[in-house]
Structure formats: structure tokens, C-alpha cells
């Protein structure tokens, strides 16, 4: 063969270095992706990837890729394969003989192996003839600006039935195994690429290969016409893709939308834990089944970055690879989004990223609430956090869940939630302050303390009690506001469930007796025993209870102290309904019946409603109208607010004063202002606060109190 007929690798100056060595340096996954794309373009139905760190004549490792694609004959090698940069497609939308949309376009993928290997063997078979040639990077680079390198042909047009031999026995053995497999499958074409002289750290593990290929292709999985194996095991969906806890659309489907008349396919998954590197998350944009815009990419959408770490999306737009101009970078990692024709897709992507994350947030909310709930349960079992009522426990869970919704689900995030659960649990009852104050009280027990030390301790106790005093002031102001609202409801005949309100909030009736709580068990037991009574014994008060209707019995609320030494029975009637002897008699029956069963307790009664015309001679019973209950109770709470504010010794600019005004409402502030008229210190404090109030808020100082808010004299 003359020198002119000898096949030569033809390339421009430095093209091997820039588009082979540098572009794919130390990127084994990218190299395999380029070779796999060539297999797809050759209409291969199977691809086997061999990763053998101990392979090769010198035992220094080998990576090989085998396929049953169309292969190349000697002339095709000479005229096309060895011409670097010669376009693989004549038209952008050209298809392969097998009907596939080609992934390759520029004819540069053949240089990828030099990113990790110094020697590349190409064994290609077409029409039953084997051609095997070797490319040596060191020799190619020595050609410099010459740009022409004749590869070494180990075999030329060797019959498929003949055994191949080359300068590397390991490669020759693998070539013959490949040849025999094709013969067994009755095929006469295929290609094998061997990468040799590879650095030891460039041999990936199977999971790494699976993830790299899964991230860069949409065609390597779940296809019977393109089966990919790595070291004799087929790649699976579970290996190549992460496990998702939330997917759009559900299952394994793909959504299709039209963007400015062009088809775009997509699916999105969110992983449960983002325990991967940041460049594995995001949107991968594909064209003809191959990556065009690599992750991490989010269409430059800002915000909710913490949730972006959980997102793994695949967007397919084949038309990106069919444009006249190149829209995709040579190494298939980025798209030129500055091009006008891509703006609709770019804006679509931004909206989609926001939409996907919003949907995931909604999904995660319920999941996270339950996860924090479970975490709190475990902490309570181990006594790491305090245990409260079910309602309070749930409020703590909700508070912590909302506060940590955007810190993710990493181990450090779980630790942060645990610390916050502990902190909120303690803060719920001012535990840190209480523990500190408790230590101060313990110091007072020390009889050896001097008068000066005791004075100092008492001063410190007073100083550190300010948060508790102001906390009580806030509570009292809220109660005063609640009573104002209830006052309006009662007088609008809105008829709220008054019995239930009193059961849930006994402080409505007992402003100075917070230790009394609703005792539903005692009420239920009393009713059940009365209903079981037999008719004999006409004087038995239980028979009166039995004779009441269920609705009448529902009017009674039992309030008891923790030790059951104080029992207060309240009969609650609507303000628009008149009361008379019958209501008094029914309350007396309850008092008499309970006294018999609890002789060691003080039993009192309270009849609340429209008291006009009610005559009562029973000293155990107090009769009050709703005006009295609400006005007196509210006034007491406002007095408590004033007392806490004064002893806390806060300043007029204290934010909590503004909160007290906002919580308590106008009615509470009016009463507080009225009280300040006879208390100089309180008057100065409120005056200073009014001066420092934000502009636009009305000043209440000196405003006359509404007559309805002033407690009636003499209980009228």
C-alpha cells in the first residue's frame, strides 16, 4: 500500500490536546458517555462495558466497550473515522439506518478516550471483516503541527472466522471472545474500543459508572433495543437513578408540553435525603437521549435553594440538536441560553422549577410534620424534652417544623431539629429562667447568708423575674380581650356555646382562682349515678337531676381544685332566657347530691344568666348576670396587667407594652388608662409609651372609658 493510500489520523494543530486530553481529563464517566453515544449512533442493540483494573499485558488495567452496532470497514475508517472534526451528520434531523436520532454531531467524540488513556485500540467489524488499529497518544503528540498520524493496524480485513492477533495478548484474547460472541449471535458487525495505560485512580466502581451514565443519558435504561451491561451485569433503574420520595408525574411516566410549538418532555423526582454532591442535583436537559445541559442547573431560578438540592429532573428537547447553528457545547455540558430562539424554553424552565419545588414543599410539609412529631415522641420517651398536654405537644411540633422547614433533611439538620425541640420544650415553661430562679431561692435557704447577701439575692430574683411578670401581663391582657369579645357576642345574641367556653376557660368565671379546672369526670359520674337511681325516696336530690332533660343537665359545669377540696358547680344560662325558681332548684339538687358524696369538700354554686326576677335564699349559691361576670372579670384582669407592669419596672419603650395593647384591644387599654388616673407611676409609664408609639396609631391616654366596660356598682 502506497503512502497516499495509508490511513492517517488527520487533525488540526493542538486539537488532540484541547478536545481530547483537556476536555475529558480525569472524567471517566464523560469518556464512557461519549463512547456509549457512538454505540447508539451505530444502531447497537447491546453494549458491554468492561472495567478491569488488573487487565492488559502489564497488568496496569484496561477499560473496554463492546457493541453489536454497524461497525466500520477499512474505507470508512480511512475516510471518516480518522478525520477529526468531520461532521457525522449531513442534516441536523438526519436519522441512522436503524431510524435512531444520532447523538453525535461533530465527529469529536473519538478523542474522548485520550482524556484518561494513553493507548486506544479500535477493533471494528463490518460485513464479516475485522479491522484493528492502535492509536498511541505519545506518538500523536510528537507529530506537533504536522497534523497527520498513521495508526498501527494490528489486523486489516481479517475474516470474522479467523483468530485475531496483536501486540497485546490481553487485548487479543478479548477481541477473540468478542468475535466468537458475534458469530454465536449470527452477526457480522460490531465494534470494540480498548483503553490502555490508564492511571490507577481512573478506574471507577460499578455504582459510579451506573450513576454517571444514568445522569448523561435517557436511553440506557428500560429499553430492550439498547441493553447496557457493566462487567456482565445489566444496568438497572435502581442503580442509575436515585430513589425518589416524590415524583412528577407519579410512577415512571413522562409529561409532554408544547413550548412555542416545540415538543418538550420531562419528569421530575425529589430524593428523600440530599446526601450527594451538589453537582448531582438539578435539571439535566437532553437532546436525542444525550445530555446537552449538565447538572447542576436550575434555569438560574433563585430562591428555595435548600429544596433544589433534592431535585433531579430530566427535560428532553430533541430539537436542540437539530438546529442549523450549534446550541450545545462541544463537551455536551452546557447550552447557549443567550440565543433568542431558546428564550421560551428558558422561561418555561424557570416557571417549572418554581412549580416543581412548590409542589414538593406541600408534599414535604405533611411528611416533615410527622417526622418532627416522631422525633419529639422519641425525645419525650428518653426524657430529653418535657411532656405537656397533647395540644401543647402538637403546638411545639408545629413550631419546630415550621421553623426548620427549609434546612433540609441531612443529619446535621436532624440534629438541629433535635436541639430546637429541646430548647422550645424548655422555653415553653420558661425552664431556663425557672431553673436559674430556683437556684437563687435555694441560696436563700442557706442560713449562713448575711443580710447583705440575702438583699443581693432578692434583688437578683426581682431582676430576673421581669420576663415572667411581663409574660403574665401578656396573658392577662389576652384574657381581658377575650372577655371583651365574649361580651359583644353575648349582647349580640350570638349565643356561643357558653358551657363549653367555661369548661375550656374556667378563668372566665374564676379570675382569681386559676387552680379551679373543669372536671368532666365528676360531672359525668354524678349524672350517671343520678340516672341509675330508683324512684323510691322522694327527697333524694338525685331524682331531681334524673328528672331533668339532657339539655338541662348540659347547662351545668363542674369546676374543682386539684385535691377536690373545692367543688364549684356553675349553671350557665343564655342571657336572653329568663331564670326563676326552677333553675335555682336544679342547682340546689346538684349541690345537695354532690355534698352527700363529698362530705369533706366545700361545695358552692354559681348561677349565671339573666338574673332579673331571680330570688335566692341559699347561701351556697351566688347569682350573677353576664354583664357582671364579664365586666368584673375583665376589670380584674386589667388590674392584674397593671400590677405586673408596675412590679416589673419596665420602661415606656418596652415592646411588650405594645403587644399588651394589641392583644388586649381598645377596651383593655381604656381600662388600663383609667386605672392610671389614680396611680402616678402607671400614668407616667403609659404616658411615655404613648409618646413613643409608632406614628399613625391613636393615642388612648386620657380617653374616657366606655360605660359598658366599667364594672357596675353593687353588682348591678
Question: Is there a domain that residue 359 lies in?
Answer: no
Give the pLDDT score at 12.
54
**Burial readout 389-419 (b: 16 or more C-beta within 10 A, e: otherwise):** eeeebeebbebbbeebbeebbeeebbebbbe
Give the pLDDT score at 313.
93
**Nearest Cα residue to 462 out of 294, 649, 271, 701:** 649
Answer whether residue 708 shows pLDDT above 60. no
Question: Do 441 and 588 belong to one domain?
Answer: no
Question: Is there a domain that residue 43 lies in?
Answer: yes
For the segment 294-309, the average pLDDT, to the nearest whole number, is 84
Question: Do 673 and 557 belong to one domain?
Answer: no
Q: Given 3-state DSSP classes, what are the helix, strand and coil percentages for the chain, each rounded to the nearest 5?
A: 45, 20, 35
- What is residue 578's DSSP assignment? B
**Nearest Cα residue to 588 out of 539, 549, 628, 515:** 539
Q: How far apart are CA 661 and CA 685, in angstroms?
A: 13
- Of 183, 212, 235, the domain-final residue: 235
- Of 174, 205, 235, the domain-final residue: 235
Question: Is there a domain that residue 365 lies in?
Answer: no
pLDDT digits (tens, 9 = 90+) for 518-546: 888 999 999 999 998 887 766 788 899 99
Q: Which of 400-404, 572-576, 645-649 has the lowest mean pLDDT?
A: 645-649
Give the pLDDT score at 106.
56
Answer whether residue 603 shows pLDDT above 50. yes
Question: Is there a domain that residue 153 lies in?
Answer: yes
pLDDT digits (tens, 9 = 90+) for 113-163: 888 888 999 999 999 999 999 998 888 877 766 667 788 999 999 999 999
- Of 235, 268, 300, the domain-final residue: 235
Q: How far apart are CA 695 and CA 677, in angstroms?
A: 24
Question: Is there a domain that residue 366 lies in?
Answer: no
Answer whether residue 69 shows pLDDT above 60. yes
**Nearest Cα residue to 113 out of 196, 183, 181, 222:** 196
Answer whether residue 707 shows pLDDT above 50. no
Answer whether residue 1 shows pLDDT above 60. no
**Nearest Cα residue to 290 out of 256, 315, 325, 258:** 315
Question: Is there a domain that residue 382 lies in?
Answer: no
Give the pLDDT score at 712.
37
pLDDT digits (tens, 9 = 90+) for 650-696: 565 566 566 666 655 666 666 667 666 666 665 666 676 666 565 43
Question: Do 131 and 211 belong to one domain?
Answer: yes
Identity of the highest mean pLDDT range in 87-91, 595-599, 639-643, 658-662: 595-599
For the segment 208-231, the average pLDDT, to the nearest whole number, is 81
Question: Do 315 and 196 belong to one domain?
Answer: no
Give the pLDDT score at 468.
52
Answer whether residue 280 shows pLDDT above 60. yes
pLDDT digits (tens, 9 = 90+) for 346-379: 999 999 999 999 999 888 888 888 889 999 999 9
Give the pLDDT score at 161.
95
**Burial readout 500-533 (b: 16 or more C-beta within 10 A, e: otherwise):** ebbbeebbbbbbeeeebbbbeebbeebbeebeee
Q: Which of 20-29, 92-101, 557-566, 647-656 has the lowest mean pLDDT?
A: 647-656
Answer whether residue 505 shows pLDDT above 80. no
Could you tell me the CA-to-CA distances from 338 to 264, 334, 617 in Å, in that order? 19, 12, 92
Q: Mean pLDDT over all residues of the chain?
A: 79
Does residue 141 sit in helix, strand or coil? helix
Question: Is there a domain that residue 391 lies in?
Answer: no
Could you tell me the CA-to-CA distances from 318 to 52, 265, 315 in Å, in that order? 35, 9, 10
Answer whether residue 439 shows pLDDT above 80. no
Do residues 502 and 570 make contact, with C-beta atoms less than 8 angstroms apart? yes
Q: Is the dihedral of CA 353, 356, 362, 363 positive or negative?
A: negative
Question: Do 565 and 684 belong to one domain?
Answer: no
Question: Do 573 and 711 belong to one domain?
Answer: no
Question: Do 459 and 555 belong to one domain?
Answer: no
Percent of the chain residues past pLDDT 90, beyond the cut: 28
Question: Do 157 and 255 belong to one domain?
Answer: no
Higher pLDDT: 43 or 106? It is 43
Give the pLDDT score at 714.
38
Q: How far apart are CA 292 and CA 11, in angstroms?
A: 25
Answer whether residue 592 shows pLDDT above 60. yes
Question: Do 221 and 311 belong to one domain?
Answer: no
At 294, the pLDDT band (50, 70, 90 cuts) reads confident
Side-chain-facing half-sphere of 658: CA atoms under 13 Å:
12
Total structural domains in the chain?
5
Identity of the highest mean pLDDT range in 91-105, 391-405, 517-531: 517-531
Percent of the chain residues past pLDDT 70, beyond the cut: 70
At 258, the pLDDT band (50, 70, 90 cuts) reads very high
Q: Which of 156-170, 215-229, 412-426, 444-458 has the lowest mean pLDDT?
A: 444-458
Give the pLDDT score at 535.
79
Length of the chain counted residue by residue: 716
In CATH, what number is assigned to the domain containing residue 177? 3.30.565.10
Question: Is there a domain that residue 414 lies in?
Answer: no
Give the pLDDT score at 664.
59
Could you tell me the CA-to-CA distances from 216 to 116, 308, 466 in Å, in that order? 18, 19, 63
Question: Do 95 and 196 belong to one domain?
Answer: yes
Give the pLDDT score at 49.
95
For the segment 597-618, the average pLDDT, to the nearest whole number, is 89
Answer whether residue 63 shows pLDDT above 70. yes
Q: Which residues on adjacent β-strands are paired with residue 264? A: 257
pLDDT digits (tens, 9 = 90+) for 19-57: 556 667 768 888 898 899 899 889 999 999 999 998 877
Question: Do 30 and 16 belong to one domain?
Answer: yes
Q: How far apart are CA 319 and CA 210, in angstroms?
A: 27
- What is residue 217's DSSP assignment? B
Q: Which of 64-68, 74-78, 200-204, 536-540 has the lowest mean pLDDT?
A: 536-540
Do residues 314 and 266 make contact, with C-beta atoms less than 8 angstroms apart? yes
Question: Do 696 and 708 belong to one domain?
Answer: yes
**Residue for cell digits 434546612?**
407
For 122, the domain range is 9-235
Give the pLDDT score at 706.
36
For the segment 696-708, the average pLDDT, to the nearest whole number, is 37
For the segment 500-516, the average pLDDT, to the nearest whole number, is 69
Give the pLDDT score at 675.
60
Amino acid at each position: 500500500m502506497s503512502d497516499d493510500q495509508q490511513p492517517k489520523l488527520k487533525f488540526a494543530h493542538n486539537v488532540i490536546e484541547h478536545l481530547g486530553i483537556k476536555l475529558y481529563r480525569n472524567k471517566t464517566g464523560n469518556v464512557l458517555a461519549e463512547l456509549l453515544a457512538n454505540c447508539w449512533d451505530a444502531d447497537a442493540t447491546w453494549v458491554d462495558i468492561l472495567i478491569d483494573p488488573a487487565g492488559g499485558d502489564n497488568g496496569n488495567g484496561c477499560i473496554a466497550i463492546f457493541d453489536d452496532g454497524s461497525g466500520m470497514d477499512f474505507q470508512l475508517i480511512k475516510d471518516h473515522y480518522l478525520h477529526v472534526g468531520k461532521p457525522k451528520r449531513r442534516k441536523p434531523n438526519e436519522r441512522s439506518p436503524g431510524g435512531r436520532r444520532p447523538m453525535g454531531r461533530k465527529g469529536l467524540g473519538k478523542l474522548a478516550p485520550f482524556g484518561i488513556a494513553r493507548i486506544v485500540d479500535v477493533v471494528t467489524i463490518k460485513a464479516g471483516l475485522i479491522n484493528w488499529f492502535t492509536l498511541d497518544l505519545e506518538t500523536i503528540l510528537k507529530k506537533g503541527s504536522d497534523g497527520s498520524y498513521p495508526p498501527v493496524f494490528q489486523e486489516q480485513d481479517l475474516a470474522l472466522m479467523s483468530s485475531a492477533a496483536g501486540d497485546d495478548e490481553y487485548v487479543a484474547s478479548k477481541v477473540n471472545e468478542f468475535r466468537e460472541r458475534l458469530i454465536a449471535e449470527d452477526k457480522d458487525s460490531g465494534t470494540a474500543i480498548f483503553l490502555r495505560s490508564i492511571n490507577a485512580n481512573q478506574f471507577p466502581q460499578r455504582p459510579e459508572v451506573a450513576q454517571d451514565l444514568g445522569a448523561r443519558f435517557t436511553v440506557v435504561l428500560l429499553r430492550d433495543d439498547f441493553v447496557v451491561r457493566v462487567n456482565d451485569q445489566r444496568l438497572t433503574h435502581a442503580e442509575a437513578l436515585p430513589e425518589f420520595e416524590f415524583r412528577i408525574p407519579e410512577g415512571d411516566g413522562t409529561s409532554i408540553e408544547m413550548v412555542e410549538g416545540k415538543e418538550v418532555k420531562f419528569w421530575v423526582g425529589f430524593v428523600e435525603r440530599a446526601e450527594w454532591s451538589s453537582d448531582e442535583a438539578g435539571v439535566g436537559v437532553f437532546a436525542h437521549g444525550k445530555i446537552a445541559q449538565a447538572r447542576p442547573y436550575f434555569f438560574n431560578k433563585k430562591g428555595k435553594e435548600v429544596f433544589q438540592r433534592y431535585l433531579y429532573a430530566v427535560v428532553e428537547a430533541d430539537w436542540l440538536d437539530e438546529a442549523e447553528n450549534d446550541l450545545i457545547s462541544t463537551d455536551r455540558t452546557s447550552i447557549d441560553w443567550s440565543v433568542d430562539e431558546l428564550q421560551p424554553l428558558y422561561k418555561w424552565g424557570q416557571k417549572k422549577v418554581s412549580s416543581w419545588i412548590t409542589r414538593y414543599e406541600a408534599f414535604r410539609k405533611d411528611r416533615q410534620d410527622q417526622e418532627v412529631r416522631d422525633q419529639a415522641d422519641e425525645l419525650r420517651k428518653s426524657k430529653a424534652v418535657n411532656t405537656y398536654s397533647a395540644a401543647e405537644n402538637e403546638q411545639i411540633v408545629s413550631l419546630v417544623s415550621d421553623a426548620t422547614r427549609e434546612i433540609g433533611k441531612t443529619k446535621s439538620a436532624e440534629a438541629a431539629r433535635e436541639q430546637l425541640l429541646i430548647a422550645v420544650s424548655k422555653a415553653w415553661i420558661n425552664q431556663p429562667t425557672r431553673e436559674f430562679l430556683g437556684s437563687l431561692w435555694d441560696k436563700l435557704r442557706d442560713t449562713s447568708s448575711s443580710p447583705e447577701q440575702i438583699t443581693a439575692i432578692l434583688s437578683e430574683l426581682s431582676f430576673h423575674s421581669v420576663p415572667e411578670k411581663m409574660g403574665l401581663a401578656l396573658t392577662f391582657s389576652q384574657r381581658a380581650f377575650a372577655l371583651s369579645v365574649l361580651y359583644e357576642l353575648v349582647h349580640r345574641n350570638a349565643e356561643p356555646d357558653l358551657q363549653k367556653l367555661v369548661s375550656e376557660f374556667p378563668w372566665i368565671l374564676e379570675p382569681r382562682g386559676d387552680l379551679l379546672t373543669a372536671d368532666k369526670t365528676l360531672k359525668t359520674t354524678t349524672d350517671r349515678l343520678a340516672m341509675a337511681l330508683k324512684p323510691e325516696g322522694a327527697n333524694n336530690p338525685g331524682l331531681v337531676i334524673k328528672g331533668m332533660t339532657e339539655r338541662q343537665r348540659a347547662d351545668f359545669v363542674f369546676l374543682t381544685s386539684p385535691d377536690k377540696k373545692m367543688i364549684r358547680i356553675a349553671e350557665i344560662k343564655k342571657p336572653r332566657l329568663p331564670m326563676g325558681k326552677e333553675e335555682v332548684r336544679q342547682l340546689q339538687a346538684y349541690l345537695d347530691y354532690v355534698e352527700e358524696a363529698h362530705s369533706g369538700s366545700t361545695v358552692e354554686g354559681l348561677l349565671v344568666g339573666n338574673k332579673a326576677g331571680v330570688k335566692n335564699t341559699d347561701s351556697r349559691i351566688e347569682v350573677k348576670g353576664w354583664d357582671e361576670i364579664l365586666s368584673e372579670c375583665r376589670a380584674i384582669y386589667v388590674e392584674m396587667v397593671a400590677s405586673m407592669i408596675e412590679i416589673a419596672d419596665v420602661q415606656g419603650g418596652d415592646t411588650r407594652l405594645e403587644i399588651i395593647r394589641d392583644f388586649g384591644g381598645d377596651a383593655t387599654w381604656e381600662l388600663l388608662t383609667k386605672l392610671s388616673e389614680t396611680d402616678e407611676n402607671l400614668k407616667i409609664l403609659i404616658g411615655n409609651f404613648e409618646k413613643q408609639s409608632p406614628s399613625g396609631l391613636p393615642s388612648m391616654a386620657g380617653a374616657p372609658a366606655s360605660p359598658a366596660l366599667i364594672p357596675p356598682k353593687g353588682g348591678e
